[in-house]
Amino acid sequence: MNIPAYLGELLLRKGLITPEQLHYALAKQNETGEFLGEIMVREEFLTEKELKQTLAEQLGLPFVEPAGMDLAPEVIESIPPQLAQKYRVVPVAKNRDSITMACANPMDLSLLDQLKRETGVMLKLAVTTEEQIDRVLEKYYHERLHNVSAILEDLSEKDLAHLAIESGVEITDLDAMRTLANEAPIIRLVNFFLAEGVRLGASDIHFEPFENEVKLRYRIDGVLYERTPPPRNLYPALISRIKLMAGMDITEKRLPQDGRIRLRLTAQDLDLRVAVAPTLHGEEVVIRILNRQSILLDLDDLGMEAILERFESLINLSHGMILVTGPTGSGKTTTLYAVLSRLNRPERKIITIEDPVEYELPGVNQIPVNPKVNFGFPQALRTIVRHDPDVILVGEIRDMETAEMAVQSALTGHLVFSTLHTNDAATAFTRLVDMKVEEYLVASTVRGVLAQRLVRRICPSCRVEYQPTPKE
């Protein structure tokens, strides 16, 4: 949203911001290239609603809040759900000649042209907020956007026949595979499954092929739940699409592959880690959803109120080693990122070694390991101790060499954080000794061990207050 500079003057005249806040935002814009309004909203100088109301006034457009409006069926049906989701617009009015669309980004000059081309009708714009668009999409389009059968119903028989026939044979021609993966119906299906994972709060999406069917499962709060899968005859095209997005070799089906996808979906910036492995009936795919909103939490939000004061005293030590333990998917990375966010101050230099770097932390030097070129955790640790760090994060202690290097770093005046795959805090000491670290070194360097698990949350829409009886 490229907002003209005089938007700031309008906000000043309305008393929504101070001159100091405007000067700060303008300086930040010059430094980062971000949009002025986004900076002011992020810094909480004003709300998104106040910004969009002012923007609407500046552009001479109406400001609407469609989530509170009673939108008639003919208005809602004037635009396909997929277009509403794709362009982040919702219809709010319709007459014989035109449709009025509400959007949160009226400065996108190409938006109106793209919508006109795809709808074939005259369009007018109104301004609203991202939150209002999300609420309308959920209220009016949820069933059509979150139902595989509905998506398949929207596809023509010709589309389905073409994709099924192509997918039913072994394709070795790279151009043919790319064409298949870029078919619009396949793109819609893949985007649907990814958006569904985000909506459900899943950490992983599993696509599992069998002889006559495909299983689709989402891991939510540590438990796998089955959902409606894609048709078996569309599965090869769907997997080719995912591999193409992840930068993999789509012709290689005999070996495991790993890749990464970065995209903006459902108004969120997502980072997806993709793992593909060959199985008896095709390629299995697991997608790890790295949601920035869910991982970048404050320590106060992690549910450790009972021990928070003791834990904070540990992370503020000048040297030593602090370990976080727990099984895979128990939130260890989230805890460590919260720790680094708390410690991230100008007077501290923080360096992380990760495999891979899950999220970028502003002000933190993050190093991804690369075993393919013999640059693993031990080699990275040897390098970074010469870069004068105060705080070091080692993504995981996996072997004797990494353990020894981490202990040496802690002994030489650095505060070292890392993770171990153990079931409890006490076992962490045994695990280090099993890695041939001398017991006296473990005793002198390890300052604390935090063992954690994820607790499943009750649905916020369903939960009710309940007072257990003394017997319970």
pLDDT tens digits along 66-106: 988 888 888 888 888 778 877 889 999 988 888 899 998 88
Residue 24 lies in a domain: yes
Regarding whether 441 and 300 lie in a shared domain, the answer is yes
Indicate whether 401 belongs to any domain.
yes
| 91 close to 99: Cβ distance less than 8 angstroms | yes
pLDDT value at residue 172: 46
pLDDT (tens digit, 9 = 90+) per residue, 22-42?
999 898 888 888 888 888 988
Residues 12 and 41 in one domain: yes
Same-domain status, 332 and 402 = yes
Residues 234 and 350 in one domain: no
- pLDDT tens per residue, range 110-142: 777 888 887 778 888 999 998 899 888 888 877
315 lies in some domain? yes
Q: What is the CATH number of the domain that holds 350?
A: 3.40.50.300
Q: Which of 227, 260, 292 is the last residue of a domain?
A: 292
Q: Total structural domains in the chain?
A: 3
375 inside domain: yes
Q: Which domain holds residue 439?
A: 296-451
Its pTM stands at: 0.61
Average pLDDT over residues 274-300: 85
Average pLDDT, the chain: 84
Q: Is the pLDDT of residue 108 over 90?
A: no
Give the residue, 402 or 146, on which the prediction is more confident.
Answer: 402
> Tell me, what's the pLDDT at 351?
96
Comparing 2 with 194, which gets the higher pLDDT?
194
User: Which of 137-141, 153-157, 415-419 has the least mean pLDDT?
Assistant: 153-157
Measured CA to CA, the distance from residue 435 to residue 377 in angstroms comes to 15
| Domain final position from 292, 318, 336 | 292
Same domain, yes or no: 245 and 303? no
Please tell me whether residues 156 and 69 are part of one structural domain: no
Residue 307 forms part of a structural domain: yes
More reliable by pLDDT, 87 or 267: 87
- For residue range 233-243, what is the model confidence (pLDDT) as tens digits? 888 889 999 99
Same domain, 236 and 253: yes
Confidence of residue 165 (pLDDT cuts 50, 70, 90): very low
Same domain, 309 and 423: yes
Pair (197, 300) in one structural domain: no
Nearest to 409, CA basis, from 401, 157, 84, 201: 401
Same domain (yes/no): 105, 236: no
- Residue 141 belongs to some domain of the structure: no
Is residue 119 included in any domain, yes or no?
Answer: yes
* 256 and 331 part of one domain: no
Is residue 458 included in any domain, yes or no? no
Same domain assignment for residues 420 and 327: yes
